[in-house]
Structure 1
Amino acid sequence: MSQISLTFPDGKQRDYDKGVTAAEVAQSIAPSLAKSAISASVNGKHWDLQWPIEDDAQIAIHTMKDDAQALELIRHDFAHVMARAVQKLWPDVKVTIGPVIENGWYYDFDRDEPFTPEDLGLIEKEMKAIINERDLVKTEVWDRSRAIEHYIRKNEPFKVELIEAIPGDEPLRMYWHGHWQDLCRGPHLQHTGQLPADAFKLMSVAGAYWRGDHTKKQLQRIYGVAFKNREDLKAYLTMLEEAAKRDHRKLGKEMELFHLQEEAPGMVFWHPNGWTVYRALEDYMRRRLARAGYKEIKTPQVVDRILWERSGHWEAYRENMFIVEVEEEHAKEKRINALKPMNCPCHVQVYNQGLKSYRDLPLRLAEFGSCHRYESSGSMHGLMRVRGFTQDDAHIFCTEDQIEQECANFIGLLSSIYRDLGFTKFDVKLSTRPDVRVGSDEIWDKAEAALENAVRKVTNDYEVDPGEGAFYGPKLDFKLTDAIGREWQCGTFQADFNLPVRLGAEYVGEDGAKHRPVMLHRAILGSFERFLGILIENYAGKLPIWLAPRQVVVASIVSDADDYVNEVVAKLRDAGIRAEADTRNEKINYKVREHSVGKVPVILAIGMKEVAERTVSLRRLGETRTETVALSDVLSSLTAEAAPPDLANH
């Protein structure tokens, strides 16, 4: 039999018979490795231990110590084990698909009766029994006709439809977990006993249309989560409990910030408190951008389709655009317009007014641009995903040689703003050229190098995502981490060689000839709506005092103190502090509880003792301790505390 050469991570090589499996390779190294192995990587591809290796290759054997591979396999196998358990409990149930998702998996089932919470408990119990059986996982490759015949015989119509939809006539991989079988690309674990029986939980049931098509049969989708050990599962469930407490929709109601309603799906009704927070954040961002050399503009919300066709958005983004038909008096037919889903083409129109010189570059144009995108009703979620939103958008028009410096300036600005807003940790991902792209390789080389060099000035801890750049240029994405460890992708920086060409942007170079500028798309918050949702959840509603809608409430203990209460409120307001008086005929403990639920950072209580001594009794949100402070001192300290961080620190 012919030989192949396998190269291991340490650089050592061994020769094996062609067709050797990764399991046999592990056995040749050590029986203990063969026992603990779960999968392999062959030339960078995740590889089942049973799959033959036909050519020379780089190989690495994985065990449960390899987090990425282990979690993928664990969650994938749990999906199969769950489907097996469901069909054992209810043999008439039809199975469909069960992919791995973040933190777990789901599987869609066709069952006449709805799954109940009690059913989920029964399924979990059966899954643990299957794990304890330690059934071997086996795989075979079948041709299409054999697989279709098999599923027709088993009365599994969804599997038949899946196979018929697979293009070409390539062989299909079939997997068995014990006696239970499924169509799957793999890879999988060696046996069911490798699954951690105490590290999974079935979470919920939801409706789902077959293949995401609302005209097809509605199925039942069971979601599960799984981890490598019980401790990680417990930590995740604790995080979910904490996230539920921090839900911005619940806090938004308690703090009287905003609401949404069916008559305007995906559009936010901001209440006075919420709009106060919004404006405080917007004012802060406006000052930071002005200081960083941006010029603020404002562009129309409704734009003729002609511009969207020229920019390429009509073809690529039409289904997500809100269309507005206008019957102009002088036109013989209706004009089709669209609410802008993004600001980029309009910013080029501003740039194009008047001849630009290389001396004008870089030109940084910023807009708090109101945009609208059609999102499906099922995808919308409070402030996190809406149809109407405002981007902290800006576009930098520059030369190729200026990309690196502009990128470095942006990362510095983004880092500073995130720190001011309470986020000290963020990750960076560099997405490089896709197969289908515009621009020469020379320009792409320069742009990718510029972005990477700029990132390296800040951190060496960044991820490269090959081939995932936009067709018009490479990009950086910035993902911040909140107080309970969740990641949110917010900031972005993208180099665009395409739109300036499509929309005719030019500048006169030092050589007197006309050149195309590079257009840098950038955002820090992403959208005000989503970022405010993130802020509310990050702080559990206890916003920093400079962002809090009501910074101070001055509450009377007795009605005879009302005049002094109003005097204190007036002085606080004169100092620029958002203060309110609470002189209702209620007990002070009731007032304190109510304003604590409303997340007011500071409560000043005033009785006759405070009136006589010209003091206040100060209590901070989350504390039970109160302190007596002179009015002059509290005015001074709260004025300093309530100053936005850019005014206090920069």
Structure 2
Amino acid sequence: MDDLDHRNLGVKLKLWHLQEDAPGMVFWHPRGYAVYRVLEDYVRRKMRQAGYAEVRTPQLLPKEFWGRSGHWDKFGEHMFRVDDGEQAMALKPMSCPCHVQIFNKGLRSWRELPIRYAEFGACHRNEPSGSLHGIMRTRAFDQDDAHVFCREQDVEGEVACFIALLDEVYRELGFPDYEVALATRPAVRAGDDATWDWSEAKLGDAARRCGLVPQINPGEGAFYGPKLEFALRDRLGRSWQCGTVQVDGVLPQRLEASYVAPDGSRARPLMIHHAIFGSLGRMIAILLEHHGGVLPFWLSPDQVAVAPISKDQAGYGADVLAAFEDAGIRAVACDGADTLSRRIVAAHEMAVPVMAIVGGREMRDGRVSLRERDGSQADVPLAEAVSRLQARARPGALVAEALYARAYGFTP
């Protein structure tokens, strides 16, 4: 592994660890979980703004349930099974059948559609040990899962809205160029050819409506429907498959989802499955490798390290730390016994983007010296330091970070 491999970076930056007796299971450390939560909250806000209601569904469900959905036959060998003495159970590999159960509670009208659910679903898949790769491919992961229940006439518009949302998120994360592929019907599938023809056409039309020209991946669709697959290309030119959107008429039928149509009859909804990241762990790994371990300010686990020059400024340093924390900035004290230069090196090694240095003059005048990773410094009043860093801490603020860098003369 090289120094920029996320498996090395995770250990070096004290973000997480993996261990041999729990293969494919991630132990998130405080710094790593801070990044995790920032990314999770960022997507949560995006989904809420797009009209999705967040839900939470069980991890353990009966084998019979997975049999009805078709997942036991298709994925059974990769599901973690539990026998409680009364019935066979399994940990969920995905959240979609659970969301149908929520939709099915109560009589639904066509006037309510589209109905949109989102979940950070904790999923477990018994992947072969040889396919595991750091936190990019694990046996336990959280998926930014979302589902839309809608009518045929809603499908193209809903898919196009998702693509626009995905495009916005990828751009704000620093991936303006991504690849898209249309995965078509596999040899073993559910549903008739007419349904597959219609679904594949709708996905292709929605992609083109958004200015995308998907390449065709023959036979790579899910067993219940075709999908658009989105892959990110990092700064090293490597491609990583992340987001997906799928059209499904099979699962609503198998799990007996229905709504009251305008003429009073019972009709089946269509179901759109989608995820922007696919796995939060995978996205964090991609971001780490893409940025060489130095995450953008808004994503950094520790955004600013407060360093008093001597013990005489310890009290003022604590006040500066509190001011940053009260403003929602992730700040950490850097006030050990080492020399200031060694503390700066230590913060640099942990990829902390900004040092807030306070000496006797800063304490006397109520100021702080902000030192960037490239060595540039700015001596400003504490209130201005807080407002500057607060602006950079806004989620997705890559553009703001670049403008800030140009305005204040440093390299982000």
Aligned twin of 1:624? 375
In 1, the alpha carbon distance for the partners of 2:322 and 2:348 equals 22
SS in structure 2 at match of 1:378: helix
The alpha carbon displacement at 1:648 in A equals 10
1:606 corresponds to which residue? 358
Deviation, 1:462, is 2.2
Task: Select which of 49, 60, 82 maps to 1:302.
Answer: 60
Identity %: 50
Within the alignment, does 1:597 sit opposite 2:355 as a pair? no
Q: Aligned residue pairs: how many?
A: 400
Task: Work out the CA distance in 2 between the residues paired with 1:634 and 1:524.
Answer: 34
**Structure 1 residues 433 and 375, CA gap change in structure 2 (3 angstroms):** closer
SS of corresponding position for 1:542: coil
For residue 609 of structure 1, report the CA deviation from its aligned partner.
2.3
Distance in 2 (alpha carbons) for counterparts of 1:616 and 1:519:
54
Residues 523-542 of structure 1 aligned to structure 2 (within 5 Å): 523-542=275-294
CA distance in 2, matches of 1:550, 1:436: 49
3-state SS of paired residue (2:263): coil
Amino acid at match of 2:3: K
Q: Is residue 384 of structure 2 the alignment partner of residue 633 of structure 1?
A: yes
CA contact (8 A) 2:298 2:397 kept: no
Distance in 1 between residues matched to 2:26 and 2:32, nearest whole Å: 10
Q: Which runs of 5+ in 1 are unaligned?
A: 1-242, 328-333
The equivalent of 2:6 in structure 1 is: 248
Structure-1 separation of matches of 2:37 and 2:222: 32
Mapping of residues 271-310 of structure 1, within 5 Å: 271-310=29-68
Equivalent in 10, 22, 28 of residue 264 of structure 1: 22
**CA drift at 1:440:** 3.7
Partner of 2:333: 581
Q: Work out whether 1:490 is the aligned partner of 2:242.
A: yes
Name the counterpart of 1:337: 89
How far did 1:460 drift?
4.2
Contact 1:400 1:447 in 2 (8 A): no
**Deviation for aligned residue 1:647:** 12
Q: How far has the Cα of 1:646 moved from its partner?
A: 7.8
Structure 1 residues 47-86: aligned runs within 5 Å: none
Find the residue that maps to 2:323 and give its secondary structure. helix
**Aligned twin of 1:410:** 162
Tell me the secondary structure at the aligned position of residue 245 of structure 1.
coil
Q: Give the whole-Å Cα distance in 2 for the aligned partners of 1:311 and 1:254.
A: 43
**After alignment, is 604-613 or 379-388 more displaced?**
604-613
Aligned residue in 2 for 1:433: 185
Report the Cα distance in structure 1 between the residues aligned to 2:225 and 2:336, rounded to whole angstroms. 60
Instruction: Give yes or no for contact 2:296–2:398 (8 Å, CA) kept in 1.
Output: no
Per-residue CA distance 1:131-169 (angstroms, 9 max, x = gap)? xxxxxxxxxxxxxxxxxxxxxxxxxxxxxxxxxxxxxxx
Question: Per the alignment, in what secondary structure is the counterpart of residue 488 of structure 1?
Answer: strand
Distance 2:79 2:198 in 1: 34
CA shift, 1:245, in A, is 2.6
Q: Report the TM-score when normalising by structure 2.
A: 0.93
- TM alignment of 1:161-172, pairs within 5 A: none
Q: CA separation in 2, counterparts of 1:647 and 1:296?
A: 27
Please point out which of 354, 360, 366 is paired with 2:118. 366
Identify the residue that residue 64 of structure 1 maps to in structure 2: none
Q: Partners in 2 of 1:423 and 1:244 — Cα distance?
A: 23
CA distance in 2, matches of 1:376, 1:470: 20
Bigger CA radius of gyration: 1
- The AA in structure 1 aligned to 2:66 is W
Q: CA deviation at 1:504?
A: 0.8
Structure 1 position 353 matched with structure 2 position 111: no
- The one-letter code matched in structure 1 to 2:5 is D
1:640–1:648 contact (8 Å) kept in structure 2: no
Higher RCO, Cα 8 Å, sep 6+: 2
Q: Structure 1 residues 371, 517: closer, same or farther in 2, change over 3 A?
A: same
Alignment partner for residue 642 of structure 1, among 393, 402, 406?
A: 393
Contact kept? 1:392, 1:526, Cα under 8 Å: yes
The alpha carbon displacement at 1:435 in A equals 4.5
Structure 2: which 5+ runs fail to align?
401-412
Residue equivalent to 2:307: 555
Distance 2:73 2:16 in 1: 35
Compute the RMSD of aligned alpha carbons. Answer: 1.8
Q: What is the CA distance between 1:552 and its match in structure 2? A: 0.6
Q: Distance in 2 between matches of 1:401 and 1:646?
A: 36
- Distance in 1 of aligned mates of 2:327 and 2:180: 40
Instruction: State the distance in 1 between where 2:68 and 2:331 align.
Output: 51
Secondary structure of 1:501's counterpart equals: helix
Structure 1 residues 360 and 646: CA distance shift in structure 2, 3 A: farther
CA distance in 1, matches of 2:270, 2:350: 47
